[in-house]
């Protein structure tokens, strides 16, 4: 019987799975650090030492679209379906 060969294949496979898990964990940690650094950089750029009270406020008119599209009726105004 070739049990020793099966055992070697099994140990190699298990070692590969462990290595994959370590690499995935390392990638997750790196991605978290990159996201944290980007968030800190965004906070630093957005703030620039200015308080919320000194920031320019956008009014409701600036948030609305410039031109409104014409409204179309949802049901016929005249005819058999009109009530």
Q: Which residue has the tokens 């406020």?
A: 57
Q: Say which residues have a Cβ less than 8 Å from residue 76's Cβ, sequence separation at least 6.
A: 82
Per residue in 6-55, pLDDT tens?
888 899 999 999 999 999 999 999 999 999 888 888 776 665 555 555 55
Q: Map out the domains of the chain as residue ranges.
A: 21-45
Which two three-digit tokens encode residue 79?
């005819």
pTM over 0.85: no
Q: Which residue has the tokens 């790196």?
A: 30
């Amino acid at each position: 019987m070739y049990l020793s060969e099966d055992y070697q294949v099994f140990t190699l496979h298990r070692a590969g799975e462990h290595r994959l898990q370590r690499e995935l964990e390392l990638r997750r940690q790196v991605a978290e650090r990159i996201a944290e650094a980007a968030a800190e950089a965004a906070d630093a750029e957005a703030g620039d030492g200015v308080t919320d009270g000194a920031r320019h406020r956008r009014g409701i008119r600036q948030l609305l679209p410039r031109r409104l599209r014409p409204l179309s009726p949802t049901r016929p105004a005249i005819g058999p379906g009109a009530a």
